[in-house]
């Protein structure tokens, strides 16, 4: 049994951090003692089998956020003060290892300070990297216009702080072969734990569907929009009764507990990527794999995602309009014949969240010498 202090950015809407939440539940099922420490942001309206400690950092006003963001740039206020408040909150507790899961430099710096304070090994689980998308467009798409002139400075500071923590970590886990290879320059003790799907929520269905629906579920970035418009043009040219459903966090979002139903009621799951991205293996791909729904990935990233789609026979990854047309027509004929679509996927069990969590648990045990 390990006593594990998990430190994370908030598992709140719209993403809810399914990788983190499943991992914590899995570790508890395995007999470990888990406490999740995170920043106060939104009410956490999901079931959990472990205590969650939240620490407030912002008052909620724009002025407070702006001042603290500027001070963070100069003094790492966010990580530094979060760690101070956490240590005070956790006084008298004992742990065996600190696990930090992050997509940015917060809360990596806080986790390192807390691990150092308790003289504990630190394991970092890296979900995203700035460098995975050209010009850091993935990390900065949500920032307000007036912060953009400071982007280069912010990015340089963020990367330096992130890399310092990666060098100091006892072990690192991450989500794709590209991420693992990139991180290896900072820390050789890095292992791969793909994202995956929760088998209790994402499983195949055989109910007849009243319409042929192509669905997109997830965030939609500017650099994905041209490919979405190209697909819509192809659908119009096909002159088939195709329904296109687009669910983004700001437009017709799908509640996290209904995602499985939404995928099973789709005929094709659309995944949008870009050849200039690296190692972005979107969770929606794994969830479509779990539901055995055909995946249409456009364009091909010519990398890890295309390789996984081939390896699992999950669908196609292409930017060829003729191949896209043929794929849609094939799936449409299957829907006409059977009333639903089901992709004959292979190696599906390798990408369940159970498998992923077992790999991260192994890294934790090795860090402790368990």
Share of the chain above pLDDT 90, in %: 73
CA torsion angle 90 95 100 106 (round to 10): 30
Give the position of tokens 């470990």. Answer: 32
Q: What pLDDT was estimated at residue 352? A: 95
Residues with Cβ within 8 Å of 324's Cβ and at least 6 positions away in sequence, in order, are: 231, 234, 296, 298, 316, 318
Q: What pLDDT was estimated at residue 88? A: 95
Evaluate if residue 141 carries a pLDDT over 60. no
Q: What pLDDT was estimated at residue 223? A: 80
Q: Within a 13 Å sphere around the CA of 217, how many CA atoms are in the beta-carbon half?
A: 27
Q: How far apart are CA 249 and CA 113, in angstroms?
A: 33
Evaluate if residue 139 carries a pLDDT over 60. no
Q: What pLDDT was estimated at residue 349? A: 92
**At 132, is the pLDDT very low, low, confident or very high (cuts 50, 70, 90)?**
confident
Q: What is the distance between the terminal CA atoms of the chain, rounded to a whole angstrom?
A: 9
What is the average pLDDT score of the chain? 91
For the segment 240-247, the average pLDDT, to the nearest whole number, is 92
Strand 3-8 relative to strand 97-102: parallel, antiparallel, unpaired?
A: parallel
Q: Is 60 helix (H, G, I), strand (E, B) or coil?
A: coil
Q: How far apart are CA 304 and CA 131, in angstroms?
A: 15
For the segment 34-46, the average pLDDT, to the nearest whole number, is 91
Evaluate if residue 311 carries a pLDDT over 60. yes
Of the candidates 268, 247, 242, the residue with the CA atom closest to the CA atom of residue 258: 247
User: What Rg, from alpha-carbon coordinates, does the chain have?
Assistant: 21
Higher-confidence residue: 27 or 224?
27
0.85 cut: is pTM over it?
yes
C-alpha triplet 166, 168, 170: angle, nearest 5°: 90
Alpha helices in the chain (DSSP H): 18-29, 62-75, 77-89, 108-118, 137-140, 151-168, 177-183, 225-238, 259-264, 283-290, 304-312, 321-338, 353-368
Give the position of tokens 């399914």. Answer: 18
Q: Is 228 helix (H, G, I), strand (E, B) or coil?
A: helix
Q: Is 86 helix (H, G, I), strand (E, B) or coil?
A: helix
Q: What pLDDT was estimated at residue 44? A: 84
Evaluate if residue 138 carries a pLDDT over 90. no
Residues with Cβ within 8 Å of 140's Cβ and at least 6 positions away in sequence, in order, are: 148, 151, 155
Evaluate if residue 323 carries a pLDDT over 50. yes
For the segment 349-369, the average pLDDT, to the nearest whole number, is 95
**CA 274 → CA 95, 221, 318, distances in Å?**
42, 11, 10
- For 96, phi then psi, to 5°, come to -105, -30
Q: How far apart are CA 98 and CA 104, in angstroms?
A: 17
Evaluate if residue 188 carries a pLDDT over 60. yes
Question: What is the CB neighbour count within 10 angstroms for residue 322?
Answer: 9
Of the candidates 244, 187, 252, the residue with the CA atom closest to the CA atom of residue 218: 252
Q: What pLDDT was estimated at residue 135? A: 59
**At 187, is the pLDDT very low, low, confident or very high (cuts 50, 70, 90)?**
very high
For the segment 177-190, the average pLDDT, to the nearest whole number, is 96
Share of the chain above pLDDT 70, in %: 95
**At 142, is the pLDDT very low, low, confident or very high (cuts 50, 70, 90)?**
very low
pLDDT in tens, 66-125: 899 889 989 999 999 999 999 999 998 999 999 999 988 899 999 999 999 999 999 999
**At 257, is the pLDDT very low, low, confident or very high (cuts 50, 70, 90)?**
confident
Q: Within a 13 Å sphere around the CA of 266, how many CA atoms are in the beta-carbon half?
A: 30
Of the candidates 298, 177, 325, 173, the residue with the CA atom closest to the CA atom of residue 242: 325
| DSSP conformational letter for 251 | B
Of the candidates 61, 197, 174, the residue with the CA atom closest to the CA atom of residue 108: 174
Q: What is the DSSP string of 321-349?
A: HHHHHHHHHHHHHHHHHHSS------SGG
Q: How far apart are CA 230 and CA 100, in angstroms?
A: 39
């Amino acid at each position: 049994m390990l006593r594990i202090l998990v430190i994370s950015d908030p598992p709140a809407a719209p993403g809810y951090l399914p990788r983190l939440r499943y991992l914590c539940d899995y570790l508890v099922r395995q007999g470990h003692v888990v406490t999740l420490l995170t920043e106060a942001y939104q009410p956490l309206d999901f079931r959990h089998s472990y205590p969650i400690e939240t620490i407030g950092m912002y008052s909620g006003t724009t002025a407070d956020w702006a001042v603290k963001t500027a001070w963070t740039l100069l003094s790492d206020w966010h990580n530094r003060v979060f760690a101070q408040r956490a240590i005070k909150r956790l006084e008298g507790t004992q742990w065996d290892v600190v696990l930090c899961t992050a997509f940015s430099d917060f809360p990596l710096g806080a986790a390192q300070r807390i691990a150092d304070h308790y003289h504990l090994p630190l394991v970092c689980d890296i979900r995203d990297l700035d460098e995975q998308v050209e010009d850091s467009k993935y990390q900065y798409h949500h920032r307000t216009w007036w912060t953009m002139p400071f982007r280069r400075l912010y990015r340089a500071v963020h990367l330096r702080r992130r890399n310092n923590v990666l060098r100091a970590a006892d072990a690192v886990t991450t989500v794709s072969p590209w991420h693992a290879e990139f991180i290896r320059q900072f820390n050789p003790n890095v292992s791969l734990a793909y994202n995956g799907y929760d088998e209790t929520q994402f499983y195949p269905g055989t109910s007849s569907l009243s319409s042929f629906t192509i669905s997109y579920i997830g965030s939609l970035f500017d650099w994905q929009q041209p490919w979405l418009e190209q697909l819509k043009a192809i659908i119009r040219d096909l002159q088939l009764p195709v329904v296109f459903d687009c669910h983004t966090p700001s437009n017709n979002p799908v509640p996290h507990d209904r995602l499985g139903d939404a995928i099973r009621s789709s005929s094709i799951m659309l995944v949008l990527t870009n050849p200039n991205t690296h190692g972005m293996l979107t969770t929606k791909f794994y969830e479509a794999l779990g539901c055995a729904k055909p995946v249409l990935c456009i364009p091909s990233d010519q990398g890890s995602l295309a390789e996984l789609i081939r390896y699992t026979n999950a669908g196609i990854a292409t930017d060829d309009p003729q191949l896209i047309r043929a794929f849609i027509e094939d799936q449409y004929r299957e829907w006409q014949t059977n009333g639903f679509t089901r992709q004959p996927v292979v190696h599906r069990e390798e990408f369940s969240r159970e498998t992923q969590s077992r790999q991260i648990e192994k890294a934790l045990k090795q860090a402790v010498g368990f």
